[in-house]
C-alpha cells in the first residue's frame, strides 16, 4: 500500500477549491505574483517561516509514515530527500508570502487556505526540479 503524502493532500485541496470558484463559472490561471521586494526585516520573517514550515512538513510526513508503518524501524527518521523537498517548498512558498502572512504563520500558527494554495504552487515547482 502506497503512502499518501500531506503534500499530495494539499494538491487535492487545491483541486477542490478550484472547483468551488463560482464567480463566473470559469477558473482562471493567473500567474502568481511574488511578494513585493523584501526589506532586510522582512527577510527575518520569511526565514522564520521557512524554518517553521520545514519542521512542520518533515514532522507531518514522519507522523504519517509512523502511522502507516508502525513496525518499521525507520518510520521516524527524516531522509535527505524529504528534508530537501520540504525545504524547497518552504523557500518557494516564502517567495509568494507577504510579511504579514509569514509573521502570522510563525507567531500565531495560522495556516489559512491562501497559504495552502501557495504551498501547492510551490510543490509543483519543486517536483519539477
- Does 95 reside within a domain? yes
Burial of 37-74, coded b for 16+ CB within 10 Å and e otherwise, reads ebeeebeebbebbbebbbebbbeebbebbeeeeeeeee
pTM of the shown model:
0.63
Could you report the per-residue pLDDT of 69-122, keeping only the tens digit for each? 777 767 666 788 889 999 999 999 999 898 889 989 999 988 888 888 988 899
Please report where in the chains the cell 522564520 appears, as a residue: 48
Q: Note down the domain range covering 103.
A: 6-21+39-127
* pLDDT tens column, 8-38: 444 433 333 333 344 444 444 445 555 445 4
Residue 29 lies in a domain: no
pLDDT at position 67, please?
86
Number of domains into which the chain is organized: 1
Q: Please check whether residue 90 lies inside any domain of the structure.
A: yes
- The answer to whether the CB of 122 falls within 8 A of the CB of 92 is yes
Amino acid at each position: 500500500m502506497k503512502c499518501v503524502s500531506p503534500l499530495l493532500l494539499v494538491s487535492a485541496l487545491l483541486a477542490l477549491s478550484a472547483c468551488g470558484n463560482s464567480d463566473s463559472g470559469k477558473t482562471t490561471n493567473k500567474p502568481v505574483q511574488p511578494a513585493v521586494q523584501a526589506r532586510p526585516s522582512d527577510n527575518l520573517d520569511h526565514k522564520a517561516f521557512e524554518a517553521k514550515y520545514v519542521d512542520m512538513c518533515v514532522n507531518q510526513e514522519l507522523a504519517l509514515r509512523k502511522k502507516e508503518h508502525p513496525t518499521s524501524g525507520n518510520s521516524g527518521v527524516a531522509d535527505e530527500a524529504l528534508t530537501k523537498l520540504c525545504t524547497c517548498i518552504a523557500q518557494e512558498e516564502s517567495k509568494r508570502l507577504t510579511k504579514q502572512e509569514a509573521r502570522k504563520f510563525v507567531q500565531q500558527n495560522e495556516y489559512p487556505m491562501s497559504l495552502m494554495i501557495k504551498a501547492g504552487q510551490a510543490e509543483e515547482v519543486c517536483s519539477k526540479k
